[in-house]
Amino acid sequence: MTVFKQIIDRKIPASIVYETENVLAFRDINPQAPVHIILITKKEIENLNYLNEEDKEIYGELLLAIPKIAEIEGIKDTGYRIISNTGRDSHQEVKHLHLHILGGRDLGSKILAD
Ligand code: AMP
Whole-prediction pTM: 0.98
Identify the residues whose C-beta falls under 6 Å from ligand 1: 3, 12, 14, 26, 28-30, 38, 85, 91-94
pLDDT of 113 > 90? The answer is no
Within 10 A of 80 (CB to CB), how many other CB atoms are there? 21
The Å distance, Cα 97 to ligand 1 centre, comes to 11
Instruction: Specify the pLDDT at position 20.
Output: 98
Query: pLDDT tens across 43-91, in order?
Result: 999 999 999 999 999 999 999 999 999 999 999 999 999 999 999 999 9
Residue pair 96/5 in contact (Cβ under 8 Å)? The answer is: yes
SS3 17: strand
Query: pLDDT tens across 2-12, in order?
Result: 999 999 999 99
N-to-C CA span, the chain:
32
Residue pair 100/36 in contact (Cβ under 8 Å)? The answer is: yes
The alpha carbons of the chain give a radius of gyration, in whole angstroms, of 14
Strands 23-27 and 35-41: antiparallel
SS3 87: coil
pLDDT of 114 > 80? The answer is no
* 36 labelled catalytic: no
Query: pLDDT tens across 12-55, in order?
Result: 999 999 999 999 999 999 999 999 999 999 999 999 999 999 99
Q: Catalytic one among 36, 91, 96, 98?
A: 98
